[in-house]
């Protein structure tokens, strides 16, 4: 994967002088879903862990920048992004009540933020190349650095669980695919897209991060 990204990046650079380049910025909103192997906390074991933990995190936010190379049929987009997701205390309480019962009246969470930095190369194909409104499909891959801060969980104000991270810090490969639309106004293009990213974590299962992106390209 690293070799492929490097070769594609070199191809982008070598043909830049003869092709149309665009630079832009984007903002992202995401929703995290974790696989079963990374949903274990403070030793709790239950079949419910197959579906529960993604409910602990709210929407994540982030942003980044991109470089477009416009070729005759397709375009290539090299992008770098940052994403941050934090746990929600009320959702954490509901999740813990699954295991500890209704005796859990309050939960505070200190830490537990998941951060992700990624570099991706995508191929973009406009489905209907009409003026102004241009729907497209996109797919690609890249590399990501994923880290989760240790979380200190306090229950009912008196019981403090040991600090722990649900996933280890790691560099992983990733794939993505989605759809979007360009709104082209001369030298300025606004766009919005929805992609699903697959992260291949060391824990043995993919982590899916649906991302809604809005951006502008100059």
Quote the mean pLDDT of the chain.
Answer: 80
* Residue 144 host element (H or E): strand 133-148
Domain boundaries, the chain: 2-12+21-84+114-148+167-217
Residue 141 reports pLDDT greater than 90: yes
- C-alpha dihedral (180, 125, 15, 66), degrees to nearest 10: 10
- Domain at 2-12+21-84+114-148+167-217: CATH code: 2.40.160.20
- Name the 3-class secondary structure at 203: coil
pLDDT tens digits for range 44-78: 544 444 444 566 777 889 999 999 999 988 999 99
pLDDT tens digits for range 82-138: 999 888 777 777 777 776 667 777 777 788 888 999 999 999 999 988 888 999 999
């Amino acid at each position: 994967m690293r070799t492929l990204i490097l070769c594609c990046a070199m191809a982008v650079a070598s043909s830049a002088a003869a092709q149309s380049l665009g630079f832009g910025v984007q903002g992202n909103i995401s929703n995290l879903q974790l696989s079963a192997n990374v949903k274990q906390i403070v030793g709790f074991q239950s079949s419910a862990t197959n579906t529960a933990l993604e409910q602990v995190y709210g929407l994540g936010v982030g942003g980044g920048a991109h470089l477009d190379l416009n070729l005759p049929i397709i375009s290539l987009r090299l992008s770098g992004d940052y994403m941050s997701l934090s746990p929600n205390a009320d959702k954490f309480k509901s999740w813990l009540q699954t295991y500890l019962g209704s005796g859990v009246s309050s939960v505070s969470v200190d830490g537990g933020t998941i951060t992700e930095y990624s570099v991706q190369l995508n191929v973009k194909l406009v489905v209907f190349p009409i003026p102004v409104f241009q729907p497209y499909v996109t797919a690609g891959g890249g590399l990501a650095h994923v880290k989760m801060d240790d979380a200190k969980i306090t229950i009912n104000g008196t019981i403090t669980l040991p600090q722990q991270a649900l996933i280890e810090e790691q560099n992983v490969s990733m794939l993505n695919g989605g759809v979007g639309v360009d709104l082209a106004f001369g030298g300025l293009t606004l766009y919005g897209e929805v992609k699903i990213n697959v992260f291949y974590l060391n824990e043995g299962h993919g982590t899916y991060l649906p991302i809604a992106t809005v951006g502008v390209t100059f």
